[in-house]
Amino acid sequence: MRAQHDTWIRTGEPWSLRELFSTSDCDIADYCREFRPSNFGGQACGEVERYCRAQGIWLDPGGEHYNSMTPYLHPGPISAERLTVIGLFNAILFWLNDTVGREKFGHLPVDAQHRARTDLDRLSVLLESGAAPGDPSPLESATLDFLSRVAAQSDPRWLDRFVSSTRDHLRTAIRDQNARSRGDLLSTSEYIDLRAQVSGMYPAIALCEFGRDHYLSWDQLATAGLAADLCRLQVLTAEIGALMNDMFSFEKECVVDRSDFNLIPVCLLNSPGATLADAVGAAAAIVRDRFAEFRRLHSALTAHCAEPGIAGSELAAQVQVHLADLTGCVQASWVWQVATNRYKGASIFEENLPSGWNESGPMGKDGHR
């Protein structure tokens, strides 16, 4: 795979992720054209950077890139304070990802891997109890601060679900997920399920409710026959975000960090004799199919909320707000990854080339839509 990648870089034409993700009836760039990140982004990102630098958990040069994701993935919060809390959570997860996460874990010395597992156990206990250990690390102190802020401003039932989702994410993210370390090869469907957990997209989706201070009533949704479809739409949102990221971050993860826990090598490993081009095509089809299903199910739920008996109700309003947030997550998964420099460099994908896209692409010279 890496040999074919190197050859493609030298002699091949870069693939367009825009073309790979778009369907015959929907260009992904057009679908995202009206997207705008949160107006509170500058203030919130500045506060998060100041806090993380003071705590010693800011990473240079990566911090600027991952911090910028918050106002994209969460365009809907009602205040700068709530977006700042979300940004602190993102900074904690990215710090873990970029120091001991799945791409880095296998390269750590044995003693560092042991410390990472110990730190994860302590963090899991902290998340469950909300109590500080006797000697909190800077990361634990930041996590306690985050928990106190979010608990003071959220619905307790939502908070329980959110903390459980975060612990599930950390258990999968802070370990070497490569095939050699696992001792097995995940099927493509098994990989997709695990990758959605590893990505942190489920806690991110839950934080949309916190940002709005507007929480879903799952009992009422079940009674109205909406819970299953809305849950499926959340899964699609998580998978689109995670798998789209796999393609944008392919070089960063699989060429630089030499990981195979990524959709492209998983497609390759599950198809003996396939080429890199085959794997790119198969991976793109998986993202594209989920993008199409997301739009179909989103339209069906929107129509359901307009039906007699539910139209104009508080429950319909809950669903419509959340549908808007899920749309924002999907759009942000495209827009931010096109805009950020986190994945720019020598690439088989046009959008990852350092020059970015010109005026014929989805973004103008100033980098804005």
Query: Over 70: is that where the pLDDT of 278 sits?
Result: yes
pLDDT at 102 over 80: no
Which residues are CB-contacts of 138 (< 8 A; sequence separation ≥ 6)?
55, 56, 57
**Amino acid 323: pLDDT:** 98
Average pLDDT of span 127-144: 85
Residue 167, token pair as written in the block: 């612990």
For 213-233, write each residue's pLDDT tens digit. 999 999 999 999 999 999 999
- Report residue 143 as tokens: 């996590």
The reported pTM is 0.90
Q: Decide if pLDDT at 270 tops 60.
A: yes
Query: What's the rounded Cα separation, in Å, for the pair 109 and 320?
Result: 49
pLDDT at residue 364, as a whole number: 34
Paired tokens of 349: 């994908």
Report how far residue 163's alpha carbon sits from residue 86's, in angstroms, rounded to the nearest whole number: 13
Instruction: Calculate the average pLDDT of the chain.
Output: 90
Rounded percentage of the chain residues whose pLDDT exceeds 90 = 75
pLDDT at 116: 66
Cis status of the peptide bond prior to 14, with omega within 30 of 0: no
Q: How far is CA 209 from CA 88, 90, 134, 212, 311, in A?
A: 16, 15, 32, 5, 21
- Give the SS3 label for residue 26: strand
- For residue 177, the SS3 value is coil
Mean pLDDT for the stretch of residues 350-369:
52
Q: Is 23 helix (H, G, I), strand (E, B) or coil?
A: strand
Q: Give 360's pLDDT tier (boundaries 50, 70, 90).
A: very low
Looking from the CA of 266 toward its CB, the CA atoms found within 13 Å total 26
Q: What are phi and psi of 23, to 5 degrees?
A: -105, 175
- Among 123-132, 161-170, 252-261, the range scoring the smallest mean pLDDT is 123-132
- Top-confidence residue, 228 or 174: 228
